[in-house]
């Protein structure tokens, strides 16, 4: 994904990116104070919100030229919290990720079911497949939400504060699995987060919103100590 002269927002520019390339096989974090436009940026990068100006290229094709089905096969998106769906079992929920590939009746093939089973196994929640999603813990449901995105078989996985409602052990587990997925399956993972110590531990690069500017910055994690990241993106 290549981003050039991008301005995002609704009626006026919230954030701008002069030039940025996101590479498959890498894990990136999006960091900034509340209300600075991080969610809007993520939604713009997957084509749900049109950019005010600039271009986003996917494999040398403009994002706005992709069909809805092409976007669904390119981007997976995970919200900060999945509260579960009444009377929907875990396997059924993850199977929704196969929607871009099923026929008009939404029927799963044997291959589709194998992919769903593999995604449940990869996220270490295969033992929950027959449980209703509302019966699961926050951590278990978040694992399911990521498994559903994996079932989409997209090259890009974007997550909006995926660890916000998790305890420390589950935060660490989610990020470890995201790193494993990015490296082994050559996917690009971008997630927003306020867990700065974990951001520095698990990511390859940090996209940050300076506290007094609208132009995004980028740093490889080794180039930005925690104290500098805090003073740049959060202290007023």
Residues of the chain with pLDDT under 70: 104-105, 222, 235-236
Burial of 34 (0-12, 13-18, 19+ CB in 10 A): exposed
Sequence-separated (6 or more) residues with CB below 8 Å from residue 58:
1, 66, 74
What integer pLDDT is reported at residue 50 of this predicted model? 94
Please list the residues that pair with 21 across neighbouring strands.
2
**pLDDT of 228:** 82
Give this prediction's pTM. 0.92
Query: 196 φ, ψ to 5°?
Result: -65, -35
């Amino acid at each position: 994904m290549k981003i050039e002269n991008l301005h995002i927002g609704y009626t006026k520019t919230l954030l701008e990116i002069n030039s940025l390339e996101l590479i498959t096989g890498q894990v990136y974090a999006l960091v900034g104070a509340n209300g600075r436009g991080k969610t809007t940026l993520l939604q713009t990068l997957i084509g749900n919100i049109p950019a005010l100006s600039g271009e986003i290229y996917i494999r040398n094709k403009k994002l706005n030229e992709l069909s809805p089905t092409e976007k669904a096969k390119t981007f997976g998106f995970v919200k900060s919290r999945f509260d579960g769906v009444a009377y929907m079992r875990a396997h059924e929920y993850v199977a929704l990720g196969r929607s871009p590939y099923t026929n008009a009746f939404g029927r799963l093939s044997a291959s589709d079911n194998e992919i769903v089973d593999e995604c449940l196994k990869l996220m270490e929640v295969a033992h929950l497949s027959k449980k209703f999603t509302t019966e699961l813990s926050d951590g278990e449901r978040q694992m399911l939400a990521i498994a559903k995105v994996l079932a989409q078989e997209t090259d890009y996985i974007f997550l909006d504060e995926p660890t916000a409602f998790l305890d420390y052990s589950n935060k660490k587990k989610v990020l470890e699995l995201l790193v494993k997925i990015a490296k082994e399956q050559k996917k690009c993972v971008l997630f927003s987060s306020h867990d700065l110590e974990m951001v520095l531990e698990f990511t390859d690069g940090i996209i940050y919103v300076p506290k007094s500017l609208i132009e995004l910055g980028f740093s490889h994690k080794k180039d930005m100590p925690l104290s500098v990241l805090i003073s740049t993106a959060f202290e007023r």
